[in-house]
Chains A and B, each alone.
Chain A
Amino acid sequence: MIWNEAAECMSREEKRRLQSERLKKLVERVYANCEPYRKRMQEAGVTPNDIQSIDDIVKLPFTSKKDLRDYYPWGLLSAPLSDIVRIHASSGTTGKPIVAGYTAGDIKIWEEVGARCLAAFGMGRNDVFQVSYGYGLFTGGLGAHGAGQNLGATVIPMSTGNTEKQMLMMRDLGATALACTPSYALYLAEAMEKSGIPRSEFKLKIGVLGAEPWTEAMRKEIEQRMQIKAYDIYGLTEIIGPGVGHECEFQCGTHLHDDHFYPEIIDPETGEALPEGSTGELVFTTLTKEGMPLIRFRTRDLTRLIYEKCQCGRTTVRMEKIMGRSDDMLIIRGVNVFPSQVESVLCEMEEVEPHFFITVDRVNNTDTFDIQVEVKEQYYTDDMKGMIKLQKKVVSKLQSVIGISPNIILSEPRSIERSQGKAKRVLDKRKFQ
């Protein structure tokens, strides 16, 4: 179902007019109320008068993750603190977290775009919606919660952890939809299989999965093991949280709500805007946000945008599955390696579990590249030759996709830590200073 046909199916011309109008107002608002932005624009020699249409966006300077840290916690607010009704934060891995402030208007927009996502997954008022994203500073829990409530679904605010209770509530309350990270969905699937409770006692149909990159192969694995349809919900704390975009029933890219969040693709090296259809770094401008609007925020996500109208009827711009993050990318022996590549290869192999752990180090000036892999229980054998053959098979499959040859460490069953939130799958021990 399309939640907001007027917004999601408007013509491209109409959309551009709306975006232009919103960008003008945004730049005026930010220029007047946010000192760091005003300074930055003055340095770049741009004033609000220079912004007449959405095409003028390229004149504006970028915002980076580092800016959010530098102006922590309130420096980038464009509204007075008295108008801020909610705080969320992302757990940055280095130093200070990134804090975002929402006005009542921002929360309303968030609930609107969130409901659009859930409706696109086929959800409605009659669904019982188990939200197993973490509640708290993380945007996942409360974001999905607000979306579900606005949709009119029955929301179960489970949060993460306590797998036994997750299964109990899912079964007893007849949850039809589940929101969590893809890696937690796999963990739950494993727990459901182990519990011995027949699948027929669960009513689960739909997975609302996101908050970490995942592959097509992992989707298949989740759909098969949980017997659900798994949809990707996309979002970033800096922009608003889950709800920035969603897949539709045709699963041909992620529809972005570009009436609120304007996407561009730039060259991550030069910062230049790239022509339509190019692959590059995704940049967002929050056209309607009041609390902490961001102009040209560099996501570090690498993808491509599709502007054609979708078979589902929506005209919102679509983003291809994110192929990695320019800062998640590992450069090993000079080759670009994305953890998502490793995941997709392992998911396609019958003999191993989709869980893995990469350790990169530098020994005698050479990069080492170890991947710990779990063999599925029925594939452990008494035969050393057989185990070595399996190990070699994993190496050669990975090498054909990645281009370099990893050292595969076969591990005991369930010895790799299962994540209940965002999976930690990489340890880079190299020191470059």
Chain B
Amino acid sequence: MITKQLSIFLENKTGRLNDVAKILSESAINMKAFSIADNTDFGILRVLVSDTDKAYQILKENGFAVKITDVLTLHVDNTPGSLYAVLDLLAAANIYIEYMYAFSEGDTASVAIRPDNLEAAVAVLKQHNIQ
């Protein structure tokens, strides 16, 4: 349920995202999911990859500011109301979501969630048998 995510600081300039994609592709690292948070000057690229430690090393060597962050990844049925059910549980437990993004692996939908309190979120979801 807890997955290691890479967070990469990027200046808002043309080609910077390409650089990351290129470096990862040259090391045969697959990006499973990503999202970008941005403001006018800079962005934070959050990405789930096939080999987190290797990607971390390579990006660091290439001069990127990169951090490893724990996020929750959950499989959610691809049906109406399934995401709502999960979010409702977290809200009821007073857990704030800092950011989240969705992706699919084969037939199932998945979401990556960064809650303000990771342990509490895991506890709530376990209680309700959500993987």
Contacts of B5 in A (CB 8 A): 382
CB distance from B10 to the nearest CB of A (A): 7
Q: Which of A391, A411, A414 has the most CB of B within 10 A?
A: A411
Q: Is B42 an interface position by the 8 A CB rule?
A: yes
Q: Which of A65-73, A82-90, A373-381 contacts B (4 or more CB under 8 A)?
A: A373-381
**Tally of chain B residues near chain A (CB < 8 A):** 20
Indicate which residue in A380, A382, A388, A411 contacts B39 across the interface (CB closer than 8 Å): A388
CA distance A409 to B11 in the complex (A): 9
Closest 5 A/B residue pairs (Cβ): A382-B7, A380-B65, A382-B69, A384-B37, A380-B9
Known: A380-B9, A382-B46. A414 touches B67 (CB 8 A): no
**Tally of chain A residues near chain B (CB < 8 A):** 18
CA distance A329 to B64 in the complex (A): 34
B-contact 0/1 string along A381-396, CB 8 Å cutoff: 1111101100100000
CA distance A382 to B37 in the complex (A): 10
Indicate which residue in A383, A391, A409, A412 contacts B65 across the interface (CB closer than 8 Å): A412
CB distance from A193 to the nearest CB of B (A): 16
A-contact 0/1 string along B104-122, CB 8 Å cutoff: 0000000000100000000
Interface residues of chain B: helix, strand, loop or mixed (majority): strand
Q: Is A382 within 8 A of B67, CB to CB? A: yes
Contacts of A414 in B (CB 8 A): 63
Chain B residues within 8 Å of A, Cβ to Cβ: 5, 7, 9-11, 37, 39, 41-42, 44, 46, 63-67, 69, 98-99, 114
Contacts of A413 in B (CB 8 A): 63-65
CA distance A184 to B40 in the complex (A): 32
Known: A382-B7, A383-B98. A412 touches B69 (CB 8 A): no
Indicate which residue in A384, A385, A391, A411 contacts B11 across the interface (CB closer than 8 Å): A411
Q: Can you give 28 A-B contacts (C-beta < 8 A)?
A: A375-B9, A375-B65, A377-B65, A380-B9, A382-B7, A382-B44, A382-B46, A382-B69, A382-B114, A383-B98, A384-B37, A384-B39, A384-B99, A385-B98, A387-B9, A387-B42, A391-B41, A409-B11, A409-B41, A409-B42, A410-B9, A410-B42, A411-B42, A412-B9, A412-B64, A413-B63, A413-B64, A415-B63
